[in-house]
Amino acid sequence: MSAPRPGLKAAIRAGKALIGSYVTFPSPEVVELFGRAGMDYVVIDLQHASPDWQTLAHMLRAADAAGVAPILMLKVLELGAEGISLPGVTGADDIRAAIAAMYYPPVGERGSCGHTRVGGYNSNRADFPVHMQRQNERVCLWAIVEDADAIRRVGDIAAVQPGADVISVGRGDLSTALGLGGQVNHPDVIAANEKVIKEVQARSGGASVSGVMIHSPADIAPWYQRGCRLFTYAADAILLMDAARAAVEAFRANAR
């Protein structure tokens, strides 16, 4: 069994600042492009998009080829996902259930199957104990809190060990829950996010870091100073639209 590339979890534990983006298009090419651009991770969004399973497998192969860590919003570790993004977390029990499903014993209760993509298709059954150990060392859990009740419980969420490697706020959903639909930079939304960052730092014992979704380079320094270390830079559709719009505007301004 060949040694895997350095994983996202190791980078998180090392306290590195990391950048990624959401992928909503069912496209291996987009995943590979983001990897070639130098992103550390991609979040393949299965909550708001719906690639078929074959396409998803190709997207994960593209992530491997480009050296970018794939995080998915669904339990698809056997296909080769490096981590799970768990939206709508409401309490500590959600984290415990996720850990039980993601990790092999003795940490969790994940079923043992060697004839999967991530298991090497049973190419060397004798390596399966090594595979289980590597998976337990490598897989990541990214918890997303999205309403006021979850924000109030975030200290308990962060305190679960082993638990979430990353905890972040879904500011879009939180703004809607607070009656501020779409106002992701409203002072109340920012204050809730700052509370989460502080609780993660105080209650996780350094085992969890905070993440944030950003839309502009101007967002990086303020959120880094607040304590975030994973920066999800918009999404494929947003980045493509911004680039296309800028190209069209430049063309209209100059072709006259």
Domain residue ranges in the chain: 8-254
Q: What is the CATH number of domain 8-254?
A: 3.20.20.60
Instruction: Tell me how far apart the alpha carbons of residues 155 and 244 are, in angstroms, rounded to a whole number.
Output: 42
pLDDT digits (tens, 9 = 90+) for 1-42: 455 667 899 999 999 999 999 998 999 999 999 999 999 999
Report residue 236 CA to chain centroid gap. Answer: 15
Task: Evaluate if pTM is beyond 0.75.
Answer: yes
pLDDT digits (tens, 9 = 90+) for 59-83: 999 999 999 999 996 568 888 899 9
pLDDT digits (tens, 9 = 90+) for 165-205: 999 999 999 999 999 999 999 999 999 999 999 999 999 99
Question: Among 67, 55, 61, which Cα is nearest to 24's?
Answer: 55
Instruction: Tell me how far apart the alpha carbons of residues 254 and 256 are, in angstroms, rounded to a whole number.
Output: 6
Question: Among 236, 231, 208, 211, which Cα is nearest to 220's?
Answer: 231
Question: Among 89, 28, 25, which Cα is nearest to 57's?
Answer: 28
